[in-house]
Structure formats: C-alpha cells, structure tokens
Amino acid sequence: MGLAGSDDFALKVSPDGAAWTTALAAEAASGTVDFPAGLRLAGGARLETCETGSWTPELADAASGGAVAGATTAAGRYVRIGEMVQASFVLDGIDTTGLAGGNDLWIRGLPYPVKASASARLTAAAHLAHVTAASPPWLYATGGDSALRLMRMVSGAAPAALTSGSAEIGASLSYRA
C-alpha cells in the first residue's frame, strides 16, 4: 500500500507474496479511484465492468448480411454496469433505398450481444415517426442476438412502411449482456 515508484496511490494484495494484484488505485492528478480487479458490495456478485460509451445503430433488412439503410443521424449511447446494459439510440432521416421489400427490419450494432441463456429475452418499446404501422411496434431480441428485430411492424412490406428520407426510429432499452 502506498506510492512506491508512482504519484498514484495503490493498494496491492498477494496470495503468496510473489505475485501482486492491484485491488485499488487512486490517480494523483484527478483523485479518480479505480478497482482494477473488480468490486463486490455486501457479499454480492463481483462487479467487473462499469463503462459508458457510444455505438452506431444501423437499420438493415436482415439480422446479419443483407442491405443497410442510410440515415442522416445514426447515434447511440450506453451504460454498462456488470452484466446490465442500458442503451438508447436514434435513427433519423432513414433512406430505405436498396432494402428488400418483404424482409423484416433489424436494428444492428448493439454495444454488447444479449446474454445467451434459456430465459434471455429483450423487448422494448420503439418510437417511430413517419412510419405506417398496423399495431404498436416493439423491438425484440433473444439470447446471443446482436440485433433488434422490429416486431408487429406494418401491414405490407416492412421497408415500404417507412417514409424514405424522413422516417425515424428510436428506443431506450435495458438488457443483460
């Protein structure tokens, strides 16, 4: 424990006195405290991941491969704490040129795939503008998916339901990664 060889404060532990692991580190310049080996609160599961970031969603006519729609704005943000991910996105000014008319629509590029397990499911409400929908749509994914499927979308061909150039799709969702 201390400042040995650095201005940063560190607390290191060792099971044998030979191999050391940094359990806590405090950065001298900012005062930021880091737990490089993870954090466990009140005996619960170890928290190994805590991060924020951005991701780029894309609208496509297949979960993988297929054609991708253009968009004036394609932006997403996420927060991951442990295995829980809170993500949001917006696709605005969607250009449907080249999308296959009979295919479902998919939002690809999730920051993390949905955790694969027998009970893993993700559903989230979708915000749509300039889209013709037969019933309220939602986003759906199962364990292992890295893409969201737009469900109960339209009467007729899915890409044809979007007003090309002005359609907007957005959502905020939580899932286990």
Q: What is the pLDDT of residues 27-36, one digit of tens each?
A: 999 988 888 8
Q: Is residue 153 part of a domain?
A: yes
Q: Is residue 102 part of a domain?
A: yes
**Residue 155 predicted with pLDDT over 60:** no
Residues spanned by the domain of 118: 50-176
Q: Is residue 44 part of a domain?
A: no
List the 33-34 sheet strands across, edge first: 9-13, 21-26, 33-34
Q: What is the largest CA-CA distance in the chain?
A: 68
Helix (H, G, I), strand (E, B) or coil at 174: strand
**Residue 16 predicted with pLDDT over 60:** yes
Task: Please give the share of the chain, as a percent, with pLDDT higher than 90.
Answer: 40
**Residue 158 predicted with pLDDT over 80:** no
Q: Is residue 43 part of a domain?
A: no
Q: Is-above-0.85 flag for pTM?
A: no
Helix (H, G, I), strand (E, B) or coil at 95: strand
Q: Taking a C-beta distance cutoff of 8 angstroms, is the pair 89, 55 a contact?
A: yes
Going from the C-alpha of 25 to that of each of 41, 42, 118, 126, 160, the distances in angstroms are 17, 20, 38, 41, 54
Structural domains in the chain (count) = 2
Q: Is residue 61 part of a domain?
A: yes
Same-domain check for residues 15 and 69? no
pLDDT-derived band at 59 (thresholds 50, 70, 90) equals very high
What is the mean predicted confidence (pLDDT) over 63-82? 94
93: left (phi over 0), alpha (psi -120 to 50) or beta: left
Q: What is the pLDDT of residues 114-140, one digit of tens each?
A: 988 766 677 888 888 888 777 777 888
Average pLDDT taken over every residue of the chain: 86
Burial of residue 145 (number of CB atoms within 10 Å: 0-12, 13-18, 19+): buried
